[in-house]
């Protein structure tokens, strides 16, 4: 440490040695003094008349000039700042402000929509081994007593989810996986009132369900928004019943569109970063106008809670399904009967089901589908979504390429079988 300090001082001194020359060495100083003494002696030996200032009376100093006058400082009001030069024409302009501001609070939106959001509790009877009769008592009088005993010991499985009212008469939208297998459904309104609900219909392909409650007075409800107008980066408000705690809201943005989770032919999810947790399924996702633009359906959860990756079914898919469920209690989806493979900007027909709609319509193996009803088809998933969204007996126009030649076919869509694969 002491050596380092010494080196630092040395560096400091070395740096200053260049700016300020060192004093002369002692020998040099002595020589300078000797020269000065010799000069003084020479001066004394010289004629004194040549140096009157040294030996005679000193003359009077010359008169000093008067100090110049300082002009007064003008007041600040009269000081004029010169004009600045104009900005040259070629100077780059600032880009426009794309995001003016975020919402300072979501409270007005929450107060408007939260009365229409409901909590859903379900009970389901579990029959784990209840119908399995031990072989030693099967066919004996003990079998009946055994069955009665097992029936009394059946367990009820409890579940929770969310939903929202879309009609003042008590029509509620939720997920199929929330209420599809329930024996009893109970709806809790935002005011704490509990009402039993009955199942109107479910659609497993889109994971949409409709239930209904009876209320003596009209219930608050919300309206559908247009999910096609939702952009990535838009604000979103998610409401629901996470972990069964009751009504709550979270906010975030739309992270992506068109997510395919492999759940079905109509997969076209909105990815949301608003926290979605178990119990939020079936709840609504609102735009900033208080319209439902998605139904919460799934989340990525490595640890069982939200990690900011949730998925909602767009309203453009849910709303027509809900109308069909209210009208018919079920949904009939379109079916083509083909096996597909992705190509470069088109979809190739790999196989055609015997006596299916595709075969009856004239589709052949190796045909390439470029568009349906004028809309380009880029991949097999897009074609399956188009067919599944169509109604049975609808006629669609297929633009094809067959043996490098363009072809157009009008094909009547069939009804999707219950056991059909995507």
Contact assessment for residue 307 and residue 217, using Cβ atoms and an 8 Å cutoff: no
Reported residue count of the chain is 422
Q: Which of 207, 267, 273, 367 is catalytic?
A: 207
Whole-number Cα distances in Å, 280 to 199, 264, 284: 19, 21, 9
Q: Which of 162, 177, 203, 315 is catalytic?
A: 177
Closest among 244, 246, 243 to 190, alpha carbons compared? 246
Closest among 352, 268, 351 to 311, alpha carbons compared? 268
Question: Has 207 been annotated as catalytic?
Answer: yes
Cα–Cα dist 194/56, whole Å: 126
Question: Which bin fits 262, alpha (ψ -120 to 50), beta or left (φ > 0)?
Answer: left
Straight-line distance from the first to the last Cα atom of the chain, in angstroms, rounded to the nearest whole number: 78
Closest among 175, 192, 188, 209 to 278, alpha carbons compared? 175
Q: Which of 255, 265, 281, 399 is catalytic?
A: 281
Helix (H, G, I), strand (E, B) or coil at 117: strand
Question: Has 355 been annotated as catalytic?
Answer: no
DSSP label at residue 274: S
DSSP letter string, 187-199? EE-TTS-EEEEEE
DSSP letter string, 333-386? PEE--EEEEE-SSSEEEEEE-TTSHHHHHT--TT-EEEEETTEE--SHHHHHHH
Question: Which bin fits 87, alpha (ψ -120 to 50), beta or left (φ > 0)?
Answer: beta
Taking CB atoms within 8 Å and a gap of at least 24, the contacts of 130-137 are 130/154
416 token code pair: 């999707």
The CA-CA-CA angle for residues 214, 216, 219, to 5°, reads 75
Which are the contacts of 127, defined by CB distance < 8 A and separation ≥ 6?
154
Catalytic residues, by residue number, are 177, 207, 281
């Amino acid at each position: 440490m002491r050596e380092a300090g010494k080196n630092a001082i040395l560096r400091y001194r070395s740096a200053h040695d260049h700016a300020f020359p060192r004093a002369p060495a002692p020998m040099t100083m002595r020589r300078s003094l000797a020269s000065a003494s010799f000069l003084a002696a020479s001066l004394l030996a010289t004629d004194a008349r040549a140096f009157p200032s040294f030996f005679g009376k000193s003359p009077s100093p010359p008169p000093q000039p008067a100090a110049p006058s300082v002009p007064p400082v003008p007041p600040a009001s009269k000081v004029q700042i010169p004009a600045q030069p104009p900005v040259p024409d070629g100077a780059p302009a600032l880009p426009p402000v794309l995001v003016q501001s975020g919402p300072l609070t979501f409270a007005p939106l929450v107060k408007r929509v939260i009365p229409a959001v409901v909590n859903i509790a379900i009970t389901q009877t579990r029959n784990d081994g209840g119908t399995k009769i031990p072989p030693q008592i099967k066919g004996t009088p003990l079998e009946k007593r055994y069955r009665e005993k097992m029936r009394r010991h059946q367990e009820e499985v409890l579940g929770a989810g969310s939903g929202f009212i879309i009609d003042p008469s008590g029509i509620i939208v939720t997920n199929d996986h929330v209420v599809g297998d329930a024996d009893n459904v109970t709806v809790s309104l935002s005011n704490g009132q509990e009402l039993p609900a009955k199942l109107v219909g479910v659609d497993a392909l889109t994971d949409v369900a409709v239930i209904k409650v009876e209320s003596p007075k009209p219930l608050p409800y919300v309206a559908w928004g247009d999910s096609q107008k939702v952009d990535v980066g838009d604000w979103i408000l998610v409401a629901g019943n996470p972990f069964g705690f009751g009504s709550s809201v979270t906010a975030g943005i739309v992270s992506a569109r068109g997510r395919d989770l492999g759940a079905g032919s109509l997969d076209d999810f909105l990815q949301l970063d608003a926290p979605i947790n178990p119990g939020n399924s079936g709840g609504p996702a609102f735009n900033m106008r208080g319209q439902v633009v998605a139904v919460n359906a799934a989340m990525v959860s490595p640890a069982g809670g939200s990690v900011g990756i949730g998925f909602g079914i767009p309203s453009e898919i849910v709303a027509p399904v809900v109308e069909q469920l209210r009208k018919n209690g079920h949904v009939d989806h379109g079916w083509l009967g083909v096996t597909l493979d992705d190509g470069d900007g088109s979809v190739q027909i790999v196989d055609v089901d015997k006596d299916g709609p595709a075969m009856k319509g004239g589709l052949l193996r190796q045909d390439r589908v470029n568009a349906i009803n004028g809309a380009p088809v880029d991949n097999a998933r897009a074609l399956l979504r188009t067919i599944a969204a169509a109604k049975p007996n609808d006629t669609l126009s297929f633009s094809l390429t067959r043996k490098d030649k363009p072809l157009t076919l009008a094909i009547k869509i069939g009804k999707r079988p219950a056991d059909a694969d995507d």
